[in-house]
Amino acid sequence: MADRFSKFYTNTNDPASNAFAITSDSENDLANSTRAIYVGTTGDLTVTMVDSGTANTFVTFATVPAGTVLPIRVQRVSAATTANNLVGMF
């Protein structure tokens, strides 16, 4: 398959070109920071944002509906997260 956009500079506003399953872990950062997170099952999403300053500064997005794509740049997803089937996109 030809990727007609492969030679273009990628901007944070561009669509994601890769994805990975997220396992919540309060102690370790994700392998890749996200451009967005897909929430597959309704619940709270507790994360550390990329520019938060410290790894353990968590913010909670409460009661995120299933099927939501949050356009957030995240470095860590807390074990306190109750949302499931999370997919990180970058």
pLDDT of amino acid 7: 72
- Is residue 11 in some structural domain? no
pTM of the model: 0.88
Per-residue pLDDT tens over the stretch 48-59? 999 987 777 999
Whether 58 maps to a domain, the answer reads yes
Please say if the pLDDT value at position 76 is more than 80: yes
Instruction: Place 13 in a pLDDT band, splitting at 50, 70 and 90.
Output: confident
Residue 30 belongs to some domain of the structure = yes
- 24-75 pLDDT, tens digit per residue, is 999 999 999 999 999 999 999 999 999 987 777 999 999 999 999 999 999 9
Question: Is residue 44 included in any domain, yes or no?
Answer: yes
Residue ranges of the alpha helices (H) in the chain?
A: none
Q: Say if 66 falls within a structural domain.
A: yes
Number of structural domains found in the chain? 1
Alpha-carbon Rg for the chain, nearest whole angstrom, is 14
Is 7 among the domain residues?
Answer: no
For the beta carbon of residue 11, count every other beta carbon within 10 angstroms.
Answer: 6
> pLDDT value at position 5?
66
Within a domain: residue 70?
yes
Q: Is residue 6 one of the residues assigned to a domain? A: no
Higher pLDDT, 12 or 75: 75
- Provide the pLDDT for residue 44: 98
Give residue 75's domain range.
19-89
Query: Which DSSP category does 80 fall into?
Result: T
